[in-house]
């Protein structure tokens, strides 16, 4: 017997036909969602007409697991300092880590720096518009490549983040939440809902994502404000509660992640290599502190020097 995640994924795929019979087609969602987006989309700097592909790429790296309100100040500072990939590529990777500040998951900064170097070396300093070339860049996976190709270049790709997965799970398969982790069925469902022409598909990608971020939220969806409420399979089924595996929230206080963040904060604020005694003073548990420091070194985020000193990567 399949576990609940596999069962949900299978049901999501097999339910597409029955939902199409009820709503006519997933394509019936396009017009109301696009009209809603035109009237309600947030004004964000990476969506401005002249933002460019590098701005979109930076935003996508920063927005992974980080909310928009925290990203905006760092994004503006980043683009002011490094308006083009060549500007970032010319700096030491440690400067990218320093500028990442408190966005969390700082390995993203190293990957973005490595991607900038690859763009300079392979593509003449311009973010490539080819999907395969994007996928070949350091730190760029399936989602990020599709997002850049769609948002920056207006191409037709299924851009499938958590918000999109939730919108499609509810509207097309009638379940309260998608599976905990992305599945191949999620991707197939998103592809089945794509408009046929590129410009509309690109607008649909950002519009469906925005709908999930603002209206079809995880905990308190605003169904009465939703442009597809009358067509939503979940609403039509009576909004049944989620009955899958527990969805545990992430803890931070007292974790190795917090210890790593404290250590990095000391190094970010320093203009010269930091002696080990300064790092020892920032976290009380010596075993956890050493484990966190060893992890930062292994990840390439911190460089050990002679004399027991440490610095951001040069």
- Would residue 60 show up in a list of annotated catalytic residues for this protein? yes
CA distance 187 to 57: 21
**Residue range(s) occupied by CATH 1.10.340.30 in the chain:** 43-153
Predicted local distance difference test score (pLDDT) of residue 101: 87
Q: What is the CATH number of domain 159-237?
A: 1.10.1670.10
Q: Which of 6, 48, 60, 80 is catalytic?
A: 60
Predicted local distance difference test score (pLDDT) of residue 25: 58
Q: Which residues of the chain have pLDDT under 50?
A: 1-24
Predicted local distance difference test score (pLDDT) of residue 18: 36
CATH number of 43-153, picked from 1.10.340.30, 3.30.720.110, 3.90.1150.10, 1.10.10.10: 1.10.340.30
CA distance 134 to 141: 8
pLDDT tens-digit map of 74-92? 999 999 999 999 999 999 9
Rounded to whole angstroms, what are the CA distances from 226 to 36, 109, 129, 201?
Answer: 8, 36, 33, 20
Predicted local distance difference test score (pLDDT) of residue 152: 98
257: alpha, beta or left, given left = phi > 0 and alpha = psi -120 to 50? alpha
Given the DSSP bridges, would you call strands 303-305 and 309-311 parallel, antiparallel or unpaired? antiparallel
**Residue range(s) occupied by CATH 1.10.1670.10 in the chain:** 159-237
Residue 66 structure tokens: 């980080």
Quick one: angle between helices 68-81 and 53-63, nearest 10? 140
CA distance 106 to 257: 10
């Amino acid at each position: 017997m399949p576990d609940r995640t596999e069962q949900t994924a299978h049901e999501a795929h097999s339910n597409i036909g029955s939902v199409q019979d009820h709503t006519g087609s997933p394509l019936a969602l396009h017009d109301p969602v696009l009209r809603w987006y035109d009237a309600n989309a947030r004004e964000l700097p990476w969506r401005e007409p002249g933002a460019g592909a590098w701005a979109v790429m930076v935003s996508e790296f920063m927005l992974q697991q980080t909310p928009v309100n925290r990203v905006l100040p760092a994004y503006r500072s980043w683009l002011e300092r490094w308006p083009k990939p060549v500007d970032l590529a010319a700096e030491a990777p440690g400067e990218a880590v320093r500028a990442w500040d408190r966005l969390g998951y700082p390995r993203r900064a190293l990957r973005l720096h490595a991607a900038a170097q690859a763009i300079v070396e392979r593509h003449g300093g311009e973010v490539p518009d080819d999907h395969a070339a994007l996928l070949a860049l350091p730190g760029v996976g399936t989602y990020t490549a599709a997002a850049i190709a769609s948002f920056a270049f207006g191409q037709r790709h299924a851009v499938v983040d958590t918000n999109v997965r939730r919108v499609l799970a509810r509207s097309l398969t009638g379940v309260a939440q998608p599976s905990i982790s992305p599945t191949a069925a999620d991707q197939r469902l998103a592809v089945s809902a794509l408009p046929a022409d590129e410009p509309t598909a690109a607008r649909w990608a950002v519009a469906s994502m925005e709908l999930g971020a603002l209206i079809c939220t995880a905990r308190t969806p605003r169904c009465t404000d939703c442009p597809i409420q009358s067509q939503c399979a979940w609403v039509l089924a009576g909004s049944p509660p989620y009955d899958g595996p527990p969805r545990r929230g992430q803890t931070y206080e007292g974790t190795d992640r917090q210890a790593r963040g404290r250590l990095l904060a000391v190094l970010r604020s320093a203009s010269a290599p930091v002696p080990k005694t300064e790092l020892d003073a920032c976290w009380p548990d010596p075993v956890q502190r050493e484990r966190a420091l060893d992890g930062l070194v292994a990840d390439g985020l911190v460089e050990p020097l002679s004399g027991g000193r440490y610095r951001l990567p040069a």
